[in-house]
Amino acid sequence: MTNSTWQTLQSYAQTPPDLNTLFKSDPARGERLTASACDIYMDFSKQAIDDKVLAKLLQLADDFDLSNKINDLLTGKKVNDTENRPALHTALRTPKGETLIVDGVDVNAQVHDSLERAKHIVNRIREKVWRGYSGKAISDVVNIGVGGSDLGPLMATTALAEWADTDIRVHFVSNMDGTQLDGLLKKLDPQTTLFIISSKSFGTIDTLSNAKTALAWLLATGANKASVLRRHFIGISTRADKMSEWGIYTDNQLLLWDWVGGRFSLWSTIGFAVAIAIGMAGFKEMLAGAYAMDRHFATADFAHNLPVLLGLLGVWNSTFLGIHAHSILPYDGRLLHFPNYLTQLEMESNGKSVARDGRAVDFDTCPILWGDIGSNAQHAFYQLLHQGTQRVSCDFITPIHRYDNRQSHHDAYLEEQHKLSLANCLAQSQVLAFGNNALPDELRNDNDSFGHFKQYRGNQPSTTLLLTALSPKTLGSLIALYEHKVYVMSAIWGINPFDQWGVEVGKVMANSVYQAIDAKAMDGFDSSTNQLLAKIHQRQDKVQE
């Protein structure tokens, strides 16, 4: 990089600010380095930045033309240049009546036609009008997908379980080896189970292998195949032709578009299972929360813009400070799947080493992400965070209130437990930042004979995100915040966050290896793979004897 701002940040990173020193020199730091929007309060004062670093990061955003790049994303420019198409996931949550013309097509009109079609089917299922082959109403819905067709709907349905207003149970299956589906089918009634086959391409082997097993399970009852296909399968894809070829009836098909990336597709009909659980009104509340964050992203000054700040901090940590691990730590059990959701969103988007111009990047891009619910994580990998040899940046996420004010059940004992969770969230970020200095005098180990084993170095940077409460709307805003964070980071790094060629190559290789397993071939690959194939075939032959 020859940009002077970039070079200045590199020089600052040689002697990065220490968090203990920063807070001692500026007692009001925790009040200043904050931003808020869409019922989300962000405290980034525990990041290893001072005012001059922050100023240069904001300058970097201007140097890399971030304002125009945000506009390009939101107005349908072909920001996915390696696939020659726009990335219009933000259009999926734009209110009805607005106009977005892309290549002569009113995208907004298409989106809301699709939502109306989904609403019609959702209501039929929830109101018990949709019946299985024996005439019984649907009791269980199984979403079969993988990647973005699974992680997003699973995460949102779990997070919003308390908002579910139906007795229909929603399940998710993604594992291609069949064990996950097999365990679930043993608990379900084929007469009252509906399957959603979610696949953007409708060619993903993981999804179609599970769908084939589900169909065989239903046909094993002796039910008529045509009736089973009509009453027990809904398809969601960009490929109507492939859905029809598989057997999905036209009336049971929900379409999306190739400009919807899989990991950004929750807002489309891929979120169908979420709408079944919480109703279409609840699903639209989630869309509204995401749209509110879109508007904030588009209009707020960068110094107070949540996605911009979160993205710039990510670049500072990964590229300049060389912090190559980032942990997502929600202190709310309902956000169980949020860390896993973000691992795909960030690492599939920004896990790139080639810039848009085709040149290899000469700096570090996306860090390795992982995480867990905070209380579990404290008893698992926080040991490494506090006393390991590596620096790790963290995002702490927690709602201030256990319940949204629209919910009627305010159980006192759950509120008390939530206070305990909040206390742990704030305490952990303190110790990560300040180490031993965070501890009161009575907890110091200065005179302990084992005190040198009980030292906490601190200076682990973190951001804390406080949600007013967890609701469909705030969840929508939170997800959109991270989507835009990913885009900000990609804009600074000059990479395309919307393709995933690294995913595709594995699928191609898997097909060739599958053919070798099926044909009992034992050569044609590297010596390791050939030997592994030989062992597999040898064992299979023994079982068949």
Q: Catalytic amino acids? A: 348, 379, 507
Q: How far apart are CA 301 and CA 134, in angstroms?
A: 59
Token pair for 7: 């070079």
Contact 490, 349 (CB under 8 A): yes
Q: How far apart are CA 496 and CA 484, in angstroms?
A: 13
Crossing angle for the helix pair 4-14 and 51-63, to the nearest 10 degrees: 150
Q: How far apart are CA 61 and CA 493, in angstroms?
A: 11
Token pair for 129: 């009008």
Q: Please give the C-alpha separations between residue 91 and each of 107, 268, 294, in angstroms, as whole numbers.
A: 7, 10, 10
Contact 503, 348 (CB under 8 A): yes
Contact 22, 50 (CB under 8 A): yes
Residues found in the chain: 545
Residue 236 DSSP symbol: E
Q: How far apart are CA 7 and CA 319, in angstroms?
A: 12
Q: How far apart are CA 347 and CA 251, in angstroms?
A: 36
Crossing angle for the helix pair 472-493 and 148-159, to the nearest 10 degrees: 140
* 172 beta partners: 143
